[in-house]
């Protein structure tokens, strides 16, 4: 293998910082209930912790999605078609994209989009080693906002977004609609979207997945406060907050929270904020869908569901959508 074949992929870098979003973060912490967007989980440590979550026995989404992809690999490749430029929104550790890239035919290019630059480049460099002939164009950006796609050297027949892990569930319906609109804009009129969508199911199964016995999800959640301390000059006492996730059946969503264990004052970016004993910060929603409910949302965003693959227990789905 030549040195040129394993060169580091060129990075398009639009990485946001917490300082860039200071006003948004403070507005969320002034609200009732207090909120912090889950997009801020993913500094390098948070990304590594999420990789550990994906390996936990309670956390079914990752292994179930991978099993669906492996069982239906030929059908997925047929749906996407040859010559695709695959744009992955939130590329993470690139476990699932390896399965997909090994399945698809004549991939024109792979564009991983991730908010954590260090995690993105580590994954992109590893993929360049394993797929030396693949054109890889990493983009560090907040993918919830339109971003500029890098130029692709190879001929592209179709652009297809890949959004695994049911990350779409982290967005409230209006925000999910806006994100799907961003994706539709990126893939164009002949484009497609391959997406993982978690399905509504038994409350106990869901709550176990987000309250694991080893405490990794709690560590992941609390790392958000650690990041605020480091990057926004905050002074959160991590020992004075605890993690808990519960399923809101009426809203069909997991709510992940950090509870204050006492009345306290916290400074963030020069502003003092009050927490009552037991007051919480909502750090993540994870909406669960029925197949019909997600199809309706996709239709509103200009996508048509063409194919759906699920596991035998119907815990999770992988879906292919075409621009309507």
Lowest mean pLDDT among 13-27, 133-147, 237-251, 301-315: 13-27
Within a domain: 28: no
pLDDT confidence of residue 119:
81
Within a domain: 193: yes
pLDDT tier at 4, thresholds 50, 70, 90: very low
pLDDT tier at 2, thresholds 50, 70, 90: very low
Q: Are 13 and 140 in contact (CB under 8 A)?
A: yes
Per the prediction, the chain carries an average pLDDT of 93
Within a domain: 228: no
For residues 147-154, give the mean pLDDT: 92
Token pair 């905050």 in the structure block, residue: 234
For residues 132-147, give the mean pLDDT: 91
Query: Residue 65: what are its φ and ψ, rounded to 5°?
Result: -60, -45
Within a domain: 294: yes
For residues 135-156, give the mean pLDDT: 92
**Residue 5: pLDDT over 60:** no
**Residue 94: pLDDT over 90:** no
**Number of residues assigned to the chain:** 324
Q: Are 116 and 47 in contact (CB under 8 A)?
A: yes
For residues 198-217, give the mean pLDDT: 97
Within a domain: 273: no
pLDDT tier at 125, thresholds 50, 70, 90: very high
pLDDT confidence of residue 1:
41
pLDDT confidence of residue 20:
80
Q: Are 56 and 210 in contact (CB under 8 A)?
A: no
pLDDT confidence of residue 3:
42
pLDDT tier at 243, thresholds 50, 70, 90: very high
Q: Are 7 and 137 in contact (CB under 8 A)?
A: no
Provide the domain limits for residue 131: 4-15+50-201+288-323
CATH number at residue 122: 3.40.50.150
- For residue 159, which of 132, 183, 134, 128 has the smallest C-alpha distance? 183
What percent of the chain shows pLDDT beyond 70?
Answer: 96
What is the dihedral angle through the alpha carbons of 304, 143, 66, 118, rounded to the nearest 10 degrees?
A: 170
For residues 112-118, give the mean pLDDT: 86
Number of domains forming the structure of the chain:
1
The larger pLDDT score, comparing residue 160 to residue 115, is at: 160
Q: Are 199 and 317 in contact (CB under 8 A)?
A: yes
Burial of 276 (0-12, 13-18, 19+ CB in 10 A): exposed
């Amino acid at each position: 293998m030549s040195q040129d074949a394993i060169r580091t992929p060129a990075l398009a870098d639009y990485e946001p910082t917490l300082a860039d979003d200071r006003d948004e973060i403070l507005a969320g912490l002034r609200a009732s209930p207090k909120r912090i967007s889950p997009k801020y989980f993913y500094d390098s440590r948070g990304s590594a912790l999420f990789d550990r979550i994906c390996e936990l026995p309670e956390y079914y989404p990752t292994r179930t999605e991978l099993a669906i992809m492996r069982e239906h690999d030929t059908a997925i490749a047929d749906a996407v078609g040859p010559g695709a430029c695959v744009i992955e929104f939130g590329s993470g550790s690139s476990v699932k994209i390896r399965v997909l890239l090994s399945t698809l035919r004549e991939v024109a290019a792979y564009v991983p989009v991730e908010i954590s630059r260090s995690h993105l480049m580590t994954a992109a460099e590893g993929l360049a080693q394993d797929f030396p002939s693949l054109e890889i164009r990493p983009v560090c950006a907040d993918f919830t906002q339109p971003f500029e796609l890098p130029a692709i050297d190879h001929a592209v027949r179709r652009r297809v977004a890949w959004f695994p892990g049911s990350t779409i569930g982290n967005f409230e319906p209006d925000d999910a609609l806006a994100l799907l609109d961003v994706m539709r804009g990126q893939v164009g009129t002949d484009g497609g979207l391959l997406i993982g969508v978690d399905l509504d199911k038994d409350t106990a199964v869901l709550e176990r997945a987000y309250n694991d016995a080893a405490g990794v999800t709690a560590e992941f959640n609390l790392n958000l406060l650690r990041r605020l301390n480091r990057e926004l000059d905050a002074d959160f006492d991590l020992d004075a907050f605890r993690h808990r996730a519960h399923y809101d059946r009426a809203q069909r969503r997991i709510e992940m929270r950090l509870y204050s264990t006492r009345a306290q004052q916290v400074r963030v970016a020069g502003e003092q904020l009050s927490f009552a004993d037991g007051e919480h910060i909502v750090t993540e929603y994870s909406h669960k869908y029925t197949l019909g409910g997600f199809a309706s949302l996709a239709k509103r965003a200009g996508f048509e569901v063409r194919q759906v693959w699920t596991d035998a227990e119907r815990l999770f789905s992988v879906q292919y959508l075409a621009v309507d």
